[in-house]
């Protein structure tokens, strides 16, 4: 508990926590408001309907959550890599080991702290996204009558929990990559390359890519509305994996990544 609380305090003070959250929240709000401001100016009726679907409730709840696990996954990779890389670059891991802390315990608890911060960031981003979507709906003269849909609201806690789990898995990849590289910069660079590389590989290797970490993270939250192409940039590329299958693979990737990070940290030589 002492390490966990200390880790949270450390992360709250780090600029990376606030910069990452601010960029994601700002980007989501700008996209939704831009959609609301231009939805009625589209000459193509199909495109206008697709744009308005992003700010029409209750479907907008799923669109926002898909955005968080989509592009938000990239921010989670960067954040995880920044935190893990700093443990080596700033010598905090070395200091912890010198105090007699277990390397495996220290690294795992460090990521638990990261996971909690990701959860807080997800809730803040989701709340801001909903407010931005309401504002955008008013700009586009779209009804917000579905805002209080009881069935959707009743399922939101479960979907938010699944979304957190998916984003935590993506953050764990960045955390592990930076741990293996012992560098923030290398971890962030390789993590970004992995993220976009998986996206491009979908074109030529769809049967393989659907099992990779970012694809399963998106597929874990797929619904009928987000898997049929109606979600535009918010839509998930789910192929044939069911949400339950994808959620299981999310857990496999998460555990695997943390095991690799812990084992490497335990055996690595710490110098400097």
Structural element, H or E, at residue 205: none
Q: What pLDDT is recorded for position 201?
A: 87
Q: Which of 128, 122, 123, 10 is nearest to 75 (CA)?
A: 122
Please report whether residue 271 resides in a domain.
no
Give the structural domain span for 21: 2-266
* Whole-number pLDDT of residue 29: 93
Q: What is the pLDDT of residue 231?
A: 36
Predicted model pTM: 0.86
pLDDT digits (tens, 9 = 90+) for 36-55: 888 766 556 666 677 777 88
CA distance 80 to 71: 15
Burial class (CB in 10 A: 0-12, 13-18, 19+), 195: buried
One digit per residue, the tens of pLDDT, for the chain of length 272 reads 777 888 888 889 888 899 999 999 999 999 999 988 887 665 566 666 777 778 889 989 998 998 888 888 999 999 999 999 888 877 777 787 778 778 888 889 999 999 999 999 999 999 999 999 999 998 888 888 888 888 889 999 999 999 999 999 999 999 999 999 888 898 899 999 998 998 888 888 888 888 999 999 988 887 644 444 333 333 444 446 888 899 999 999 999 999 999 999 888 777 65
> CA–CA separation, 128 vs 97, rounded Å?
40
pLDDT of residue 260: 95
DSSP character string of 230-270: TTGGG----TT--HHHHHHHHHHHHHHHHHHHHHHHHHSPP
The answer to whether the peptide bond before residue 58 is cis (omega within 30 degrees of 0) is yes
Residue 272 lies in a domain: no
SS3 82: helix
Specify whether the CB–CB gap between 90 and 186 falls below 8 A: no
**143 CA to centre of own chain:** 29
Q: Which residue has the tokens 């679907």?
A: 53
Residue 191 contacts by C-beta under 8 Å, 6 or more apart in sequence?
77, 78, 80, 81, 173, 174, 177, 178
Rounded CA separation 31/67 (Å):
10
Whether 89 maps to a domain, the answer reads yes
Per the CB < 8 A criterion, the answer to whether 36 and 144 are in contact is no
What does the alpha-carbon distance between residue 52 and residue 156 come to, in Å, rounded to a whole number? 21
Q: Is residue 213 part of a domain?
A: yes
Domains held by the chain: number: 1
Do the domain assignments include residue 81? yes
In whole angstroms, what is the distance from residue 22 CA to residue 40 CA? Answer: 29
Answer whether residue 144 is part of any domain: yes
- Provide the 10 A C-beta neighbour count for residue 83: 27
**CA separation (Å) from 157 to 64, 92, 160, 209?**
14, 36, 5, 29
């Amino acid at each position: 508990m002492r390490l966990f609380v200390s880790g949270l305090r450390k992360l709250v003070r780090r600029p990376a926590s606030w910069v990452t959250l601010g960029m994601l929240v700002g980007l989501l709000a700008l996209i939704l408001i831009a959609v609301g401001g231009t939805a009625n100016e589209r000459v193509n009726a199909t495109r206008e309907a697709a744009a308005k679907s992003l700010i029409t409730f209750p479907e907008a709840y799923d669109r926002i959550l898909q955005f968080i696990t989509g592009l938000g996954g990239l921010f989670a990779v960067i954040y995880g890599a920044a935190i893990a890389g700093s443990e080596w670059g700033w010598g905090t891991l070395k200091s912890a080991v010198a105090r007699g802390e277990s390397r495996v315990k220290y690294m795992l608890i460090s990521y638990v702290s990261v996971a909690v911060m990701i959860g807080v960031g997800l809730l803040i981003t989701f709340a801001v996204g909903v407010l931005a979507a309401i504002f955008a709906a008013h700009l586009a003269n779209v009804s917000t009558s579905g805002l209080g849909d009881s069935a959707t609201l009743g399922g939101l806690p479960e979907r938010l929990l699944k979304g957190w789990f998916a984003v935590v898995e993506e953050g764990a990849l960045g955390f592990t990559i930076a741990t293996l590289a012992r560098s923030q910069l290398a971890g962030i660079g390789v993590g970004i390359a992995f993220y976009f590389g998986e996206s491009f590989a979908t074109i030529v290797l769809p049967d393989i890519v659907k099992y990779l970490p970012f694809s399963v993270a998106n597929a874990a939250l797929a619904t009928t509305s987000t898997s049929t192409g109606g979600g535009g940039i918010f839509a998930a590329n789910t192929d044939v994996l069911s949400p339950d299958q994808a959620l299981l693979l999310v857990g496999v990737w998460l555990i695997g990544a943390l095991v690799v990070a812990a084992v490497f940290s335990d055996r690595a030589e710490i110098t400097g």
